[in-house]
Structure 1
Amino acid sequence: MTTELYERDDARRVLEEELADGSYQRQFTGPLREAIDSFLFWLEDRAFSIGGVDVPFGPVLVLIAVAAAVVVIIMVVRPRLQSGTVADGVVEIDPQVSAEEFRSRAEASARAGDFNAAALDAFRAVARAAEERGVVSEQRGGTATEIADSLGVSYRAFADDLHRAADLFNRSAYGSASLVAADFEFVAQLDVQLQTAPAQSLGGVDGPRLAVPQ
Protein backbone atom coordinates (compact mmCIF):
# COMPACT_ATOMS: atom_id res chain seq x y z
CA MET A 1 0.00 0.00 0.00
CA THR A 2 1.47 3.35 -1.04
CA THR A 3 1.74 6.20 1.44
CA GLU A 4 -0.68 8.98 0.66
CA LEU A 5 -1.22 12.37 2.21
CA TYR A 6 -4.81 13.29 2.83
CA GLU A 7 -6.60 16.43 3.64
CA ARG A 8 -8.53 16.38 6.94
CA ASP A 9 -11.85 15.35 5.35
CA ASP A 10 -10.24 12.70 3.24
CA ALA A 11 -8.38 11.28 6.27
CA ARG A 12 -11.60 11.06 8.25
CA ARG A 13 -13.37 9.30 5.37
CA VAL A 14 -10.58 6.74 5.05
CA LEU A 15 -10.64 6.06 8.82
CA GLU A 16 -14.40 5.57 8.85
CA GLU A 17 -14.15 3.16 5.93
CA GLU A 18 -11.41 1.22 7.72
CA LEU A 19 -13.39 0.97 10.98
CA ALA A 20 -16.45 -0.17 9.06
CA ASP A 21 -14.61 -3.36 8.21
CA GLY A 22 -16.28 -6.47 9.65
CA SER A 23 -13.17 -7.48 11.59
CA TYR A 24 -13.68 -4.45 13.85
CA GLN A 25 -17.41 -4.87 14.27
CA ARG A 26 -17.71 -8.57 15.06
CA GLN A 27 -16.49 -8.25 18.66
CA PHE A 28 -19.10 -5.59 19.37
CA THR A 29 -22.09 -7.51 18.04
CA GLY A 30 -24.13 -10.40 19.33
CA PRO A 31 -27.35 -11.11 21.24
CA LEU A 32 -26.13 -9.56 24.51
CA ARG A 33 -25.03 -6.31 22.88
CA GLU A 34 -28.26 -6.12 20.91
CA ALA A 35 -30.31 -6.72 24.07
CA ILE A 36 -28.44 -3.99 25.95
CA ASP A 37 -28.84 -1.54 23.08
CA SER A 38 -32.54 -2.33 22.79
CA PHE A 39 -33.05 -1.80 26.54
CA LEU A 40 -31.20 1.53 26.49
CA PHE A 41 -33.20 2.72 23.49
CA TRP A 42 -36.39 1.64 25.28
CA LEU A 43 -35.43 3.68 28.36
CA GLU A 44 -34.72 6.73 26.25
CA ASP A 45 -38.20 6.57 24.76
CA ARG A 46 -40.00 6.05 28.09
CA ALA A 47 -41.00 8.82 30.46
CA PHE A 48 -43.75 9.70 32.88
CA SER A 49 -45.29 13.05 33.59
CA ILE A 50 -45.16 14.91 36.92
CA GLY A 51 -47.00 18.20 36.95
CA GLY A 52 -46.80 18.39 33.21
CA VAL A 53 -43.06 17.72 33.15
CA ASP A 54 -41.81 14.59 31.41
CA VAL A 55 -39.35 12.64 33.55
CA PRO A 56 -37.25 9.92 31.85
CA PHE A 57 -37.35 6.43 33.31
CA GLY A 58 -33.58 5.87 33.17
CA PRO A 59 -32.50 8.17 36.04
CA VAL A 60 -35.52 7.10 38.08
CA LEU A 61 -34.54 3.43 37.80
CA VAL A 62 -31.00 4.29 38.91
CA LEU A 63 -32.35 6.10 41.98
CA ILE A 64 -34.59 3.14 42.79
CA ALA A 65 -31.62 0.77 42.53
CA VAL A 66 -29.53 2.98 44.85
CA ALA A 67 -32.39 3.21 47.35
CA ALA A 68 -32.83 -0.56 47.29
CA ALA A 69 -29.11 -1.03 47.95
CA VAL A 70 -29.30 1.32 50.95
CA VAL A 71 -32.26 -0.60 52.37
CA VAL A 72 -30.39 -3.91 51.99
CA ILE A 73 -27.38 -2.46 53.83
CA ILE A 74 -29.54 -1.16 56.68
CA MET A 75 -31.70 -4.27 57.04
CA VAL A 76 -29.19 -7.06 56.35
CA VAL A 77 -25.55 -6.01 56.32
CA ARG A 78 -25.56 -3.61 59.28
CA PRO A 79 -27.04 -6.08 61.82
CA ARG A 80 -24.48 -8.70 60.77
CA LEU A 81 -21.66 -6.26 61.29
CA GLN A 82 -23.03 -5.22 64.65
CA SER A 83 -23.34 -8.81 65.79
CA GLY A 84 -19.57 -9.09 65.70
CA THR A 85 -19.05 -5.99 67.87
CA VAL A 86 -21.53 -6.45 70.71
CA ALA A 87 -21.36 -3.87 73.48
CA ASP A 88 -20.07 -5.20 76.80
CA GLY A 89 -22.36 -3.94 79.57
CA VAL A 90 -22.48 -4.51 83.31
CA VAL A 91 -23.75 -7.92 84.43
CA GLU A 92 -26.70 -7.47 86.77
CA ILE A 93 -26.27 -9.99 89.60
CA ASP A 94 -28.83 -9.73 92.39
CA PRO A 95 -26.87 -9.96 95.67
CA GLN A 96 -29.82 -11.71 97.31
CA VAL A 97 -29.84 -14.61 94.83
CA SER A 98 -27.61 -17.62 95.41
CA ALA A 99 -25.77 -19.59 92.76
CA GLU A 100 -28.19 -22.47 93.23
CA GLU A 101 -31.15 -20.17 92.64
CA PHE A 102 -29.55 -18.83 89.47
CA ARG A 103 -29.08 -22.42 88.30
CA SER A 104 -32.75 -23.22 88.99
CA ARG A 105 -33.86 -20.13 87.07
CA ALA A 106 -31.58 -21.06 84.17
CA GLU A 107 -32.93 -24.60 83.98
CA ALA A 108 -36.52 -23.35 84.11
CA SER A 109 -35.85 -20.96 81.21
CA ALA A 110 -34.18 -23.76 79.24
CA ARG A 111 -37.19 -26.04 79.75
CA ALA A 112 -39.39 -23.21 78.44
CA GLY A 113 -37.17 -22.92 75.35
CA ASP A 114 -35.77 -19.50 76.30
CA PHE A 115 -32.08 -20.31 75.92
CA ASN A 116 -31.05 -16.65 75.94
CA ALA A 117 -32.42 -16.17 79.46
CA ALA A 118 -31.06 -19.58 80.46
CA ALA A 119 -27.53 -18.66 79.39
CA LEU A 120 -27.71 -15.33 81.22
CA ASP A 121 -28.64 -16.93 84.53
CA ALA A 122 -26.18 -19.77 84.01
CA PHE A 123 -23.38 -17.21 83.64
CA ARG A 124 -24.60 -15.39 86.77
CA ALA A 125 -24.47 -18.74 88.58
CA VAL A 126 -20.83 -19.15 87.54
CA ALA A 127 -19.93 -15.73 88.96
CA ARG A 128 -21.96 -16.10 92.16
CA ALA A 129 -20.63 -19.61 92.82
CA ALA A 130 -17.05 -18.33 92.62
CA GLU A 131 -17.95 -15.61 95.11
CA GLU A 132 -19.56 -18.14 97.45
CA ARG A 133 -16.46 -20.35 97.34
CA GLY A 134 -14.26 -17.37 98.18
CA VAL A 135 -12.39 -17.66 94.90
CA VAL A 136 -13.07 -14.07 93.86
CA SER A 137 -14.41 -10.95 95.49
CA GLU A 138 -17.91 -9.69 94.75
CA GLN A 139 -18.37 -9.14 91.02
CA ARG A 140 -21.04 -6.41 91.19
CA GLY A 141 -20.44 -3.68 88.61
CA GLY A 142 -18.28 -5.87 86.40
CA THR A 143 -18.89 -6.67 82.77
CA ALA A 144 -19.06 -10.25 81.53
CA THR A 145 -15.59 -9.89 80.04
CA GLU A 146 -14.20 -8.49 83.29
CA ILE A 147 -15.76 -11.34 85.25
CA ALA A 148 -14.24 -13.84 82.81
CA ASP A 149 -10.85 -12.15 83.24
CA SER A 150 -11.19 -12.29 87.02
CA LEU A 151 -12.20 -15.95 87.12
CA GLY A 152 -9.59 -16.79 84.51
CA VAL A 153 -6.88 -15.79 86.98
CA SER A 154 -8.14 -18.43 89.42
CA TYR A 155 -9.10 -21.02 86.82
CA ARG A 156 -6.44 -20.61 84.18
CA ALA A 157 -7.22 -23.92 82.51
CA PHE A 158 -10.76 -22.62 81.87
CA ALA A 159 -9.83 -19.09 80.74
CA ASP A 160 -10.88 -19.65 77.13
CA ASP A 161 -14.15 -21.29 78.14
CA LEU A 162 -14.90 -18.44 80.55
CA HIS A 163 -14.44 -15.90 77.77
CA ARG A 164 -16.64 -17.92 75.45
CA ALA A 165 -19.32 -17.95 78.17
CA ALA A 166 -18.91 -14.17 78.55
CA ASP A 167 -19.31 -13.74 74.80
CA LEU A 168 -22.53 -15.76 74.90
CA PHE A 169 -23.77 -13.55 77.74
CA ASN A 170 -23.00 -10.39 75.76
CA ARG A 171 -24.57 -11.69 72.57
CA SER A 172 -27.71 -12.65 74.47
CA ALA A 173 -28.00 -9.54 76.66
CA TYR A 174 -26.82 -6.80 74.32
CA GLY A 175 -26.83 -8.28 70.82
CA SER A 176 -29.48 -9.72 68.56
CA ALA A 177 -28.31 -13.34 68.74
CA SER A 178 -30.74 -16.17 69.39
CA LEU A 179 -28.93 -18.74 71.49
CA VAL A 180 -29.65 -22.45 71.26
CA ALA A 181 -29.69 -25.31 73.74
CA ALA A 182 -26.02 -26.09 73.13
CA ASP A 183 -25.06 -22.54 74.18
CA PHE A 184 -26.87 -22.84 77.50
CA GLU A 185 -25.51 -26.34 78.06
CA PHE A 186 -21.97 -25.07 77.49
CA VAL A 187 -22.28 -22.43 80.23
CA ALA A 188 -24.08 -24.83 82.59
CA GLN A 189 -21.42 -27.49 82.09
CA LEU A 190 -18.70 -24.92 82.72
CA ASP A 191 -20.41 -24.10 86.01
CA VAL A 192 -20.34 -27.79 86.97
CA GLN A 193 -16.65 -28.13 86.09
CA LEU A 194 -15.63 -25.06 88.09
CA GLN A 195 -17.38 -26.38 91.19
CA THR A 196 -14.75 -29.11 91.56
CA ALA A 197 -11.77 -27.47 89.84
CA PRO A 198 -8.95 -26.29 92.12
CA ALA A 199 -8.52 -22.52 92.25
CA GLN A 200 -4.92 -21.61 91.44
CA SER A 201 -5.05 -18.07 92.78
CA LEU A 202 -7.47 -15.40 93.90
CA GLY A 203 -8.34 -12.25 91.95
CA GLY A 204 -11.40 -10.04 91.73
CA VAL A 205 -12.37 -6.82 90.04
CA ASP A 206 -10.97 -4.94 93.05
CA GLY A 207 -7.61 -6.69 93.01
CA PRO A 208 -5.95 -9.94 94.13
CA ARG A 209 -6.79 -11.60 97.42
CA LEU A 210 -5.13 -14.30 99.48
CA ALA A 211 -6.13 -17.86 98.79
CA VAL A 212 -8.22 -19.71 101.33
CA PRO A 213 -8.47 -23.45 101.89
CA GLN A 214 -11.17 -25.12 99.81
Structure 2
Amino acid sequence: MSGAAAVAHGVVAAALVVDMPAGVPVVPDRETAHDWLLEELSRPEYSTTPSLLERLLTWLGDLFDGLTLGEGRFPLAFVVVVVVVLVAVIAWWVAGPVRLVRRRRRSAVVLGDDERTAAELRASADAAAARGDWSAAVLDRFRALVRSLEERVVLDERPGRTAQEAAHDAGTRLPTVAAELHDAARLFDDVCYGTLPAGPDDDRRLRGLDERVGALRPAPLAAAASGEVGAG
Protein backbone atom coordinates (compact mmCIF):
# COMPACT_ATOMS: atom_id res chain seq x y z
CA MET A 1 0.00 0.00 0.00
CA SER A 2 1.39 3.45 -0.96
CA GLY A 3 1.91 6.25 1.55
CA ALA A 4 -1.00 8.30 0.22
CA ALA A 5 -3.29 5.29 0.23
CA ALA A 6 -2.27 4.47 3.76
CA VAL A 7 -3.09 8.01 4.90
CA ALA A 8 -6.46 7.89 3.17
CA HIS A 9 -7.21 4.50 4.68
CA GLY A 10 -6.26 5.75 8.13
CA VAL A 11 -8.41 8.86 7.76
CA VAL A 12 -11.42 6.86 6.68
CA ALA A 13 -10.88 4.40 9.49
CA ALA A 14 -10.65 7.24 11.99
CA ALA A 15 -13.83 8.76 10.60
CA LEU A 16 -15.59 5.44 10.93
CA VAL A 17 -14.52 5.03 14.53
CA VAL A 18 -14.89 8.63 15.76
CA ASP A 19 -17.67 10.17 13.69
CA MET A 20 -19.74 7.08 12.87
CA PRO A 21 -23.42 8.00 13.17
CA ALA A 22 -25.66 5.50 14.94
CA GLY A 23 -27.13 2.85 12.66
CA VAL A 24 -24.71 3.45 9.77
CA PRO A 25 -23.05 0.24 8.46
CA VAL A 26 -19.46 -0.28 9.59
CA VAL A 27 -18.31 -0.82 5.99
CA PRO A 28 -19.60 2.03 3.75
CA ASP A 29 -19.96 1.74 0.02
CA ARG A 30 -17.33 3.23 -2.33
CA GLU A 31 -19.16 6.56 -2.93
CA THR A 32 -19.90 7.12 0.74
CA ALA A 33 -16.31 6.40 1.72
CA HIS A 34 -15.09 8.86 -0.93
CA ASP A 35 -17.39 11.59 0.39
CA TRP A 36 -16.27 10.97 3.96
CA LEU A 37 -12.64 11.14 2.92
CA LEU A 38 -13.09 14.51 1.14
CA GLU A 39 -14.99 15.92 4.08
CA GLU A 40 -12.33 14.77 6.54
CA LEU A 41 -9.42 16.09 4.49
CA SER A 42 -11.08 19.49 4.04
CA ARG A 43 -10.67 20.25 7.73
CA PRO A 44 -8.19 23.08 8.58
CA GLU A 45 -5.89 20.82 10.56
CA TYR A 46 -4.99 18.91 7.38
CA SER A 47 -3.97 22.06 5.46
CA THR A 48 -0.19 22.35 5.19
CA THR A 49 0.05 24.81 2.25
CA PRO A 50 1.76 28.05 3.37
CA SER A 51 0.20 31.38 2.46
CA LEU A 52 1.66 33.66 -0.21
CA LEU A 53 2.99 36.02 2.48
CA GLU A 54 4.61 33.14 4.34
CA ARG A 55 6.27 31.91 1.14
CA LEU A 56 7.51 35.44 0.36
CA LEU A 57 8.97 35.92 3.83
CA THR A 58 10.59 32.49 3.70
CA TRP A 59 12.11 33.26 0.31
CA LEU A 60 13.47 36.58 1.49
CA GLY A 61 14.80 35.00 4.67
CA ASP A 62 16.59 32.28 2.71
CA LEU A 63 17.90 34.80 0.19
CA PHE A 64 19.52 37.03 2.78
CA ASP A 65 20.16 34.40 5.43
CA GLY A 66 23.91 34.54 4.97
CA LEU A 67 24.16 38.31 4.59
CA THR A 68 25.93 39.94 7.54
CA LEU A 69 26.96 43.45 8.47
CA GLY A 70 29.89 43.53 10.86
CA GLU A 71 29.01 41.19 13.68
CA GLY A 72 25.25 41.55 13.28
CA ARG A 73 22.82 40.23 10.70
CA PHE A 74 20.43 42.34 8.63
CA PRO A 75 16.93 42.04 10.14
CA LEU A 76 14.33 40.67 7.75
CA ALA A 77 12.18 43.83 8.03
CA PHE A 78 15.10 45.92 6.77
CA VAL A 79 15.58 43.62 3.81
CA VAL A 80 11.87 43.80 2.94
CA VAL A 81 11.97 47.61 3.04
CA VAL A 82 15.02 47.69 0.77
CA VAL A 83 13.37 45.34 -1.74
CA VAL A 84 10.14 47.39 -1.76
CA VAL A 85 12.07 50.63 -2.31
CA LEU A 86 14.05 49.10 -5.17
CA VAL A 87 10.88 47.85 -6.85
CA ALA A 88 9.24 51.28 -6.46
CA VAL A 89 12.26 53.06 -7.97
CA ILE A 90 12.37 50.68 -10.92
CA ALA A 91 8.62 51.07 -11.51
CA TRP A 92 8.89 54.86 -11.39
CA TRP A 93 11.86 54.87 -13.76
CA VAL A 94 10.06 52.64 -16.26
CA ALA A 95 6.67 54.37 -16.03
CA GLY A 96 8.03 57.95 -16.08
CA PRO A 97 8.87 58.10 -19.80
CA VAL A 98 5.62 56.29 -20.59
CA ARG A 99 3.64 58.94 -18.72
CA LEU A 100 5.45 61.73 -20.56
CA VAL A 101 4.80 60.18 -23.97
CA ARG A 102 1.16 59.58 -23.08
CA ARG A 103 0.81 63.19 -21.91
CA ARG A 104 2.22 64.50 -25.18
CA ARG A 105 -0.03 62.27 -27.26
CA ARG A 106 -3.19 63.32 -25.46
CA SER A 107 -2.88 67.00 -26.34
CA ALA A 108 -6.21 68.11 -27.77
CA VAL A 109 -6.79 69.62 -31.19
CA VAL A 110 -7.25 73.35 -30.81
CA LEU A 111 -9.56 74.37 -33.62
CA GLY A 112 -10.56 71.28 -35.59
CA ASP A 113 -13.20 72.38 -38.09
CA ASP A 114 -13.94 75.60 -36.17
CA GLU A 115 -13.85 78.41 -38.74
CA ARG A 116 -14.59 81.34 -36.42
CA THR A 117 -12.26 84.33 -36.55
CA ALA A 118 -10.14 85.40 -33.60
CA ALA A 119 -12.56 88.24 -32.90
CA GLU A 120 -15.53 85.86 -32.88
CA LEU A 121 -13.71 83.45 -30.57
CA ARG A 122 -12.84 86.28 -28.18
CA ALA A 123 -16.47 87.39 -28.15
CA SER A 124 -17.53 83.82 -27.38
CA ALA A 125 -15.00 83.65 -24.54
CA ASP A 126 -16.25 86.96 -23.13
CA ALA A 127 -19.85 85.71 -23.23
CA ALA A 128 -18.90 82.48 -21.47
CA ALA A 129 -17.01 84.41 -18.79
CA ALA A 130 -19.99 86.72 -18.27
CA ARG A 131 -22.23 83.74 -17.47
CA GLY A 132 -19.58 82.11 -15.28
CA ASP A 133 -18.76 79.26 -17.65
CA TRP A 134 -15.01 79.47 -17.09
CA SER A 135 -14.17 76.24 -18.87
CA ALA A 136 -15.79 77.40 -22.11
CA ALA A 137 -14.16 80.82 -21.66
CA VAL A 138 -10.68 79.32 -21.28
CA LEU A 139 -11.08 77.01 -24.27
CA ASP A 140 -12.30 79.76 -26.61
CA ARG A 141 -9.71 82.20 -25.24
CA PHE A 142 -6.89 79.84 -26.21
CA ARG A 143 -8.51 79.12 -29.57
CA ALA A 144 -8.71 82.88 -30.18
CA LEU A 145 -5.00 83.23 -29.41
CA VAL A 146 -4.06 80.49 -31.87
CA ARG A 147 -6.44 81.83 -34.54
CA SER A 148 -4.96 85.31 -34.20
CA LEU A 149 -1.48 83.87 -34.77
CA GLU A 150 -2.76 82.18 -37.91
CA GLU A 151 -4.35 85.41 -39.11
CA ARG A 152 -1.03 87.21 -38.55
CA VAL A 153 0.77 84.38 -40.43
CA VAL A 154 2.87 83.65 -37.36
CA LEU A 155 1.44 80.14 -37.60
CA ASP A 156 0.41 78.39 -40.77
CA GLU A 157 -3.16 77.12 -40.91
CA ARG A 158 -2.77 73.43 -40.14
CA PRO A 159 -5.82 71.20 -39.64
CA GLY A 160 -5.56 68.98 -36.59
CA ARG A 161 -2.92 71.05 -34.80
CA THR A 162 -2.89 70.26 -31.08
CA ALA A 163 -2.49 72.73 -28.25
CA GLN A 164 1.06 71.59 -27.50
CA GLU A 165 2.04 71.79 -31.18
CA ALA A 166 0.62 75.31 -31.40
CA ALA A 167 2.54 76.36 -28.29
CA HIS A 168 5.76 74.87 -29.63
CA ASP A 169 5.45 76.46 -33.07
CA ALA A 170 4.41 79.84 -31.69
CA GLY A 171 7.12 79.76 -29.03
CA THR A 172 9.73 79.37 -31.76
CA ARG A 173 8.61 82.66 -33.29
CA LEU A 174 7.83 84.35 -29.95
CA PRO A 175 10.48 83.04 -27.54
CA THR A 176 9.82 85.65 -24.83
CA VAL A 177 6.39 84.11 -24.17
CA ALA A 178 7.24 80.50 -25.05
CA ALA A 179 6.93 79.26 -21.47
CA GLU A 180 3.57 80.99 -21.00
CA LEU A 181 2.31 79.51 -24.26
CA HIS A 182 3.19 76.00 -23.09
CA ASP A 183 1.48 76.64 -19.75
CA ALA A 184 -1.60 77.85 -21.59
CA ALA A 185 -1.56 74.77 -23.82
CA ARG A 186 -1.42 72.48 -20.76
CA LEU A 187 -4.33 74.38 -19.24
CA PHE A 188 -6.29 73.96 -22.48
CA ASP A 189 -5.65 70.21 -22.48
CA ASP A 190 -6.59 69.80 -18.82
CA VAL A 191 -9.81 71.76 -19.20
CA CYS A 192 -10.68 70.14 -22.53
CA TYR A 193 -10.34 66.63 -21.08
CA GLY A 194 -12.11 67.57 -17.86
CA THR A 195 -9.17 66.83 -15.57
CA LEU A 196 -8.98 70.39 -14.22
CA PRO A 197 -11.81 72.85 -13.53
CA ALA A 198 -11.17 76.33 -14.88
CA GLY A 199 -11.71 79.49 -12.88
CA PRO A 200 -11.75 83.27 -13.37
CA ASP A 201 -8.00 83.51 -12.73
CA ASP A 202 -7.33 81.10 -15.60
CA ASP A 203 -9.45 83.18 -17.97
CA ARG A 204 -7.77 86.38 -16.79
CA ARG A 205 -4.33 84.87 -17.34
CA LEU A 206 -5.15 83.77 -20.88
CA ARG A 207 -6.70 87.15 -21.64
CA GLY A 208 -3.49 88.86 -20.57
CA LEU A 209 -1.36 86.42 -22.60
CA ASP A 210 -3.50 87.03 -25.68
CA GLU A 211 -2.95 90.78 -25.32
CA ARG A 212 0.83 90.40 -24.85
CA VAL A 213 1.12 88.08 -27.83
CA GLY A 214 -0.79 90.57 -29.98
CA ALA A 215 1.72 93.29 -29.06
CA LEU A 216 4.80 91.25 -30.04
CA ARG A 217 6.52 91.26 -33.39
CA PRO A 218 7.47 87.70 -34.27
CA ALA A 219 11.04 86.85 -35.15
CA PRO A 220 11.61 86.18 -38.86
CA LEU A 221 11.65 82.53 -39.71
CA ALA A 222 15.36 82.61 -40.49
CA ALA A 223 16.14 84.30 -37.18
CA ALA A 224 13.64 82.37 -35.02
CA ALA A 225 16.29 79.98 -33.80
CA SER A 226 18.32 82.89 -32.36
CA GLY A 227 15.32 84.15 -30.37
CA GLU A 228 15.21 87.70 -31.83
CA VAL A 229 11.90 89.39 -31.10
CA GLY A 230 10.67 92.88 -30.41
CA ALA A 231 7.62 94.89 -29.54
CA GLY A 232 5.47 96.22 -32.33
Shorter-chain TM-score bucket reads: 0.5 to 0.7
Q: Distance in 1 between matches of 2:221 and 2:158?
A: 13
Aligned to 1:120: 139
Rg: which structure is higher? 2
Q: Is the 8 A contact 1:135 1:202 kept in 2?
A: no
Q: Distance in 1 between matches of 2:221 and 2:143?
A: 19
The sequence identity of aligned pairs, in percent, is 35
User: Is 1:89 aligned with 2:108?
Assistant: yes
Aligned to 1:198: 217
Root-mean-square deviation (Å): 2.3
Q: Is the 8 A contact 1:99 1:126 kept in 2?
A: yes
TM-score, scaled relative to structure 2: 0.49
Q: Distance in 1 between matches of 2:196 and 2:114?
A: 27
Displacement of 1:196 in angstroms is 1.2
Q: Distance in 2 between matches of 1:140 and 1:188?
A: 24
TM-score, scaled relative to structure 1: 0.53
5 Å-filtered alignment, 1:98-109, equals 98-109=117-128
Q: Distance in 2 between matches of 1:110 and 1:93?
A: 22
User: Is 1:170 aligned with 2:192?
Assistant: no
Displacement of 1:96 in angstroms is 2.6
Q: Distance in 1 between matches of 2:115 and 2:199?
A: 28
Aligned to 1:143: 162
Q: Is the 8 A contact 1:109 1:117 kept in 2?
A: yes
Read off the aligned partner of 1:119 and give its amino acid letter.
Answer: V
Q: How many residues align?
A: 122
5 Å-filtered alignment, 1:1-214, equals 87-202=106-221
Relative to structure 1, is the Cα distance of residues 93 and 101 closer, same or farther in structure 2, using a 3 angstrom cutoff? farther
List per-residue Cα deviations over 1:128-182 (Å, max 9, x = no partner): 1011111110142111000000100111000000001101100110132111101
- Secondary structure of the equivalent of 1:97? coil
Read off the aligned partner of 1:192 and give its amino acid letter.
Answer: E
Relative to structure 1, is the Cα distance of residues 134 and 85 closer, same or farther in structure 2, using a 3 angstrom cutoff? closer
- Please, which runs of 5 or more residues in structure 2 have no aligned partner? 1-98, 223-231
List per-residue Cα deviations over 1:86-117 (Å, max 9, x = no partner): 93122234453110000000010011111111
Taking CA–CA contacts closer than 8 Å with sequence separation of 6 or more, which of the two structures ends up with the larger relative contact order?
Answer: 1
Read off the aligned partner of 1:126 and give its amino acid letter.
Answer: L
Q: Is the 8 A contact 1:149 1:163 kept in 2?
A: yes
- Please, which runs of 5 or more residues in structure 1 have no aligned partner? 1-81, 204-213
Q: Is the 8 A contact 1:123 1:169 kept in 2?
A: yes
Q: Is the 8 A contact 1:119 1:169 kept in 2?
A: yes
Q: Distance in 2 between matches of 1:85 and 1:131?
A: 25
